[in-house]
Chain A
Amino acid sequence: MHGFANPARFLRLARWLTMPCLVAGVVIAAAALWWGLLRAPADALQGDSVRILYLHVPAAWLGMWGWGAIAAASFAELVWRHPLAAIAARAAAVPGAFYTVLCLASGSLWGRPAWGAWWVWDGRLTSMLVLLFLYFAYMALADAAGRDGDGNSRLAAIFGLVGAVNIPIIHYSVIWWNSLHQPPSISMGKSAMASDFLYPLLVSVLGFTLIFAGVVLARMRAILADSQAEARLRRKAMSEDAG
């Protein structure tokens, strides 16, 4: 891992990986949505409204994995002082928050036909909304730390770790508490979902994950370029002062 502590080496790899991730992600996600929305069968109980799951489930998983990435990067920053960890955590926040919004919006559109309500305050929906607010707070904190220079990003890293407590709560909310949202269909090696639904869903998750990875790499490059440009400006200002 410390092989990539050198930003120049990381940038060479990131520059090479960003476009393939984004292109493959968009192609695979589009193919999965075509499969799910037009080719996969309708559900016996819910009919065609079940097709929202090909967007809703990847968005929900990636909204949670996004915070998982923030927590892992924050851990690496606090323990090993890895120079790229803070940048990786900041880069994961925006796509993570975007997927969380996508999950909440698509879930609301699904809830109306399936349950008869756009929104209910049950454990799953409420903890997912809390995740979105945590993302907003994290972005504000990390941006403020980024503006102050790199000394302060430890506060954002601690917040990233503390916020990770919400992730198991989201997962277990439908198991611990009575909720309107149904329990998970897919758990380790088991699926209560017929394979006609499962395969397009897994392809969709792969596509949206590649998009997520591509956006994180692109944002890391942008944040690195930003800080380099800033450092160059600072050096220039200092040499002008001296001269």
Chain B
Amino acid sequence: MSIGGIKPKHQRLVLVVIALVALIGAGLLAAWALRNQASYFYLPAEMAAKPPEQGRAVRLGGMVETGSIKTEADGVTIHFIVGDGKARIPVSFRGIVPDLFKEGSGAVAEGRIGPDGTFVADNLLAKHDERYVPREMKDMTAQQARATVAETQ
């Protein structure tokens, strides 16, 4: 059985390839349409442009601004600022922070926006980037930096 003298093998090849292209196209379009809904958190710029309703549980993710972490007198309540270079949002959190929660590093806060515009987090997650650097190498560059400083003095 062949149409127009094409071998059945080639006919199947063309059909399967067309089906595959259509399928992958549909999958990618669906994933693209989901790009806002499937995001795990809002960026500070998105939250500043379109603030969620007060009291609605959302996640906010960005970089913890250097020098912004302040601990209250009770020792477990902290205030810090999450930014993405375009907007800065103050966050407060009461509890134990993850080990990798540091200034200048990524963080995701789960909570809701308060009446004064502060994001009140009831859970805090640390987000690290894709770079991996050995501890020794980091120390070595610090030593090299010190050596360079000593040489120039």
- A residues touching B (Cβ–Cβ < 8 Å)? 40-47, 50, 53, 75, 78-80, 113-117, 120-123, 161-162, 164-166, 168-169, 172-173, 176-180, 182-185, 192-194, 196-197
For B101, the chain A residues whose CB sits under 8 A away are 116
Contact A197 B31 (CB under 8 A): no
Contact of B135 with A42 in the complex, beta carbons under 8 Å: yes
Chain B positions 116-149 with a Cβ under 8 Å from a chain A Cβ? 124-138
Q: Which residues of B contact A75 (CB under 8 A)?
A: 16, 20
CA distance A197 to B28 in the complex (A): 33
Contact digits for B63-97, partner A, Cβ 8 Å, 1 yes 0 no: 00000000000000000000000000000000001
Q: Which residues from chain B contact A168 at a C-beta distance below 8 Å?
A: 24, 27-28
- Measured between alpha carbons, how far is A162 from B125 in the docked complex, in Å? 35
Distance in Å: Cβ of A173 to nearest Cβ of chain B: 8
How big is chain B's contact interface, by range? 35 or more
List chain A residues, Cβ under 8 A from B27: 165-166, 168-169
CA–CA, A44 to B20, complex, Å?
A: 44
* CB-CB nearest in chain A for B43: A178
Q: B50 within 8 Å of A by Cβ?
A: no
Q: Please give the distance in Å from B143's CB to the nearest CB on chain A.
A: 14
Asked if B152 is an interface residue, CB under 8 A from chain A, the answer is no
Is B135 in contact with A116, judged by CB distance below 8 angstroms? Answer: no
Check A182–B128 contact: CB distance below 8 A. yes
In the complex where A41-B135, A43-B134, A178-B41 touch, is A79 in contact with B9 (Cβ < 8 A)? yes
> In the docked arrangement, what's the CA distance between A10 and B39, Å?
47
Query: Which of the residues A80, A179, A194 comes within 8 Å of B40, measured between beta carbons?
Result: A179
Known A-B contacts A43-B135, A44-B135; A117 and B130 likewise in contact (beta carbons under 8 Å): no
Contact of A46 with B128 at beta-carbon distance under 8 Å, contacts A41-B134, A177-B40, A194-B137 already known = yes
Tell me, rounded to whole Å, the shortest Cβ–Cβ distance linking A62 to chain B: 20
B125 contacts A192, C-beta separation under 8 Å: no
Interface centre among A78, A173, A197 (most CB of B within 10 A): A78
B134 and A42 contact, CB distance less than 8 A: yes
Bound complex: CA A111 to CA B105 (Å): 16
Q: Give complex CA distance A121, B39 in Å.
A: 10
